[in-house]
Amino acid sequence: VTPAARPGRTRSEAARQAILEATRVELIERGYDKLSLDRIAAAAGVGKQTIYRWYPSKSALVAEGVLLGHLIPGAGIPDTGDLRADVTAWLVSLREISERSEGAALVRATIAATAEDETVALRYDEQVTAVTRGELTARLVRGIADGSVRGDAPIDAVVDSLVGVVLFRIMTRQPLTSAFIDGLVDLTFSGMGS
74: which DSSP letter? G
Q: Does 141 bind its own copies (CB under 8 A)?
A: no
**74 contacts which partner out of DNA, its own copies, none, CB within 5 to 8 A by kind?**
none
8 A C-beta contact, residue 100 and residue 189: no
Complex with its own copies: residue 6 or 173, whichever CB lies closer:
173
Complex with DNA: residue 53 or 100, whichever CB lies closer:
53
Q: Does 126 bind its own copies (CB under 8 A)?
A: no
Integer-rounded Cα Rg, in Å, for the chain is: 20
| C-alpha pair distances (Å), 117 with each of 63, 76, 124, 132 | 10, 26, 11, 21
Contacts of 171 (CB under 8 A, 6+ apart): 108, 111
Q: What sign has the CA pseudo-torsion 46, 48, 53, 58? A: positive
Q: What sign has the CA pseudo-torsion 186, 100, 51, 37? A: positive
Q: Which one among 17, 29, 57, 141 touches DNA, defined by CB under 7 A?
A: 57
Q: Does 102 bind its own copies (CB under 8 A)?
A: no
Q: Does 1 bind DNA (CB under 7 A)?
A: no
Judged by DSSP in three states, 194 sits in coil
Complex with DNA: residue 35 or 176, whichever CB lies closer:
35
Choices 16-24, 26-34, 60-68, 88-96; region in contact with its own copies by CB under 8 A: 26-34
Q: What does the binding site for its own copies look like in residue numbers (CB under 8 A)?
A: 31-33, 108-109, 111-112, 114-116, 118, 121-122, 124-125, 129, 140, 147-151, 153-154, 156-158, 160-161, 163-169, 171-174, 180, 182-184, 186-194
